[in-house]
Amino acid sequence: MAEFASWYLTVTSRTVEATVVVTATGRVGSAGAPELEAALRAISDQSSGEVRQVVLDLAGVDYVSSAGLEVIENAAARLRARNASLVLRGAEGATKLSLDFAGSLSNVSV
């Protein structure tokens, strides 16, 4: 069963001063996108100016679907509306390829 662990998504976060680091591990497909959206929405909705930046660490993600790309773009727009930014870090392999194919996400720093 361990070989299928990457199909699941886990999301953790930690705050360092005015930056929240969100670490995603697994797949951000249609099944996992709602979990990532909930985590990012909670951060953007709860931040009343104290969070200036959210770093989304994708080093442990092996796949991002269009649903995942939409979650990232929407979270970035919500954060930008609160004068904060979303930065992507660690994307490699198929994840980086998905981001590259999506083109420049308008509200996201890579």
- Is residue 67 within 8 A of residue 34, CB to CB? The reply is no
Confidence band for 9, pLDDT divided at 50, 70 and 90:
very high
Side-chain-side CA neighbours of 63 within 13 Å: the count stands at 14
What average pLDDT does the segment 77-87 reach? Answer: 92
pLDDT of residue 107: 57
Taking 50 as the threshold, does the pLDDT of residue 18 lie above it?
A: yes
> Interhelix angle for 33-46 vs 66-81, to 10°?
0
Greatest mean pLDDT range, 14-23, 42-51, 98-107: 14-23
Distances (CA, A) of 30 to 27, 33, 35: 9, 5, 10
Domains observed in the chain = 2-109 (3.30.750.24)
Confidence band for 1, pLDDT divided at 50, 70 and 90:
very low
What average pLDDT does the segment 95-100 reach? Answer: 88
pLDDT of 21-67, one tens digit each? 999 999 999 999 999 999 999 998 876 678 899 999 999 999 999 99
